[in-house]
Amino acid sequence: MSPLRSSTRRRRRKGAGQDSRRLVGATALVSVAFLGTSALAYVFTVLAARLLAPAAYGELAALLGLLLVGSVPGTGVRTAIALHLGGRSGDREATARLHAVMLSVGLGVSLLALLLVPVVVTLLHLPAATAAIWLALLLLPQTLGEGYQGMLQGAARYRRLACVTVVFGVSKLVGGVTGLLVGGSSASALLGMAVGASLGALGGWLGAGRPELLGRLRAPLGAALRAAGALLGFVVLLNLDLLFARHHLPAAAAGEYAVAAIITKIAFWLPQGVGVVLLPRLAHAAGRHETLPTALAAVATLGAALTLSTAALGDSALPLIGGSAYGGTLGAATWLFAALGTLLALAQLLLFSGIATADRLATAAVWTAAGVEAVVVSVLAATDRLSPLSLVGTASLTATALVTMGLVRLARTRARTRAGERPVVPAAEVVPAPGS
């Protein structure tokens, strides 16, 4: 081997090592920021439960569940923006177009929610429409906040992304708590959250470089809506077992399942930084083939460690989380919930890859998995064979099938690329180039 070739290989290995270290650092930083904001949301629910009467807290909890669904278009916008930018920064024209998409989606979602206020009031038996109105108005800054984070994510500005994420979460928490303390109702809490989210969105706009507005929205708007459709199916799948536990199981068993599901959420949220850092790289075929297998392996390894740790705790896992009143029905089987969270985290990474390649089968697979799980659970309930163990087992088998299908599609895509076939055009690349 020539000295020149040997020197070139050493430089490449050194560069790859530095890039890996940067990725690990960025992943850790973003993971801490996202876990921190999730913890803040948990703190808010605990404070609300203590400050509100049971009836008022039930009203707020139901409205926050609707907020989760209404936030999905914002998550779709964020995903589409990060994929479109694909690690690039400084493209002011593209950023201005994406900014207009964010605003359009946010206004559309907020307006639709306002139109549905009478329906929400009827279905949730609300004493007045005020809380539902504030919820609808909250969806605009919520969507914008997600979009600004997507801009920083797509530009690979992870330190600033972490700061903006924390500022948005803190602003919304402070606003919500202030509303609870001042008004003492679900309406005042949502009013405070709307004000706090607006301030947080303003901070996101400043952090993203004060982007301007520019038209020509059709292509990026379509990409955002496709991503939102896929992610909505995933949100349904992520929460389906909890909803069925509440609907079908006895109250005590449903409460125990809800506590065990915290383990699922921990296993799911813990590696979220991997997906955030990975997503912009999925916009390019080379990035998908190089980083996706490594990311999947990292998430699987982390999940396996958490699952084994939960299994080692055995019967003490649930009492450790919820207190001595929990742990009777599930016993030492709580490791299944950690495994379920890991499988869902893997499925999310594969779904991101499907969104990046405009793979409609990925969206169809998520919705199909949710439908199959609903049918199986309904059959088990109708035949009196539904229990916490059979429910988490059904959810785990559904997630396993979804991950398996995603891995098969990924392997076929890699095989086609190696064979020289024309790859699928990524969703991020259908946006017209600046100046076109």
Q: What is the 3-state secondary structure (H, E, C) of 148-206?
A: HHHHHHHCCCHHHHHHHHHHHHHHHHHHHHHHHHHHCCHHHHHHHHHHHHHHHHHHHHH
pLDDT digits (tens, 9 = 90+) for 228-253: 888 889 988 988 888 888 788 887 78
pLDDT recorded at residue 400: 96
Contact assessment for residue 157 and residue 89, using Cβ atoms and an 8 Å cutoff: yes
pLDDT digits (tens, 9 = 90+) for 161-211: 989 999 999 999 999 999 999 988 889 999 999 999 999 999 999 998 888
Enumerate residues 6+ apart whose C-beta is below 8 A from 414. 289
pLDDT recorded at residue 373: 95
pLDDT recorded at residue 434: 34
Q: Taking the chain, what is the end-to-end CA distance rounded to the nearest angstrom?
A: 47
Contact assessment for residue 400 and residue 341, using Cβ atoms and an 8 Å cutoff: no
Enumerate residues 6+ apart whose C-beta is below 8 A from 361. 354, 409
Could you give the CA distance from residue 328 to residue 382 in angstroms, rounded to a whole number? 24
pLDDT recorded at residue 243: 80
pLDDT recorded at residue 124: 79
Could you give the CA distance from residue 10 to residue 125 in angstroms, rounded to a whole number? 68
Listed residue (392, 414, 300, 409) closest to 352, CA to CA: 409
Could you give the CA distance from residue 402 to residue 24 in angstroms, rounded to a whole number? 27
pLDDT recorded at residue 261: 84
Query: Residue 384: helix, strand or coil by DSSP?
Result: coil
pLDDT recorded at residue 287: 67
Residues of the chain with pLDDT under 50: 4, 8, 12, 14-17, 422-436
pLDDT recorded at residue 137: 96
Q: Taking the model in full, what pTM does it have?
A: 0.77
Contact assessment for residue 260 and residue 330, using Cβ atoms and an 8 Å cutoff: yes
Residue labelled with tokens 């909250």: 138
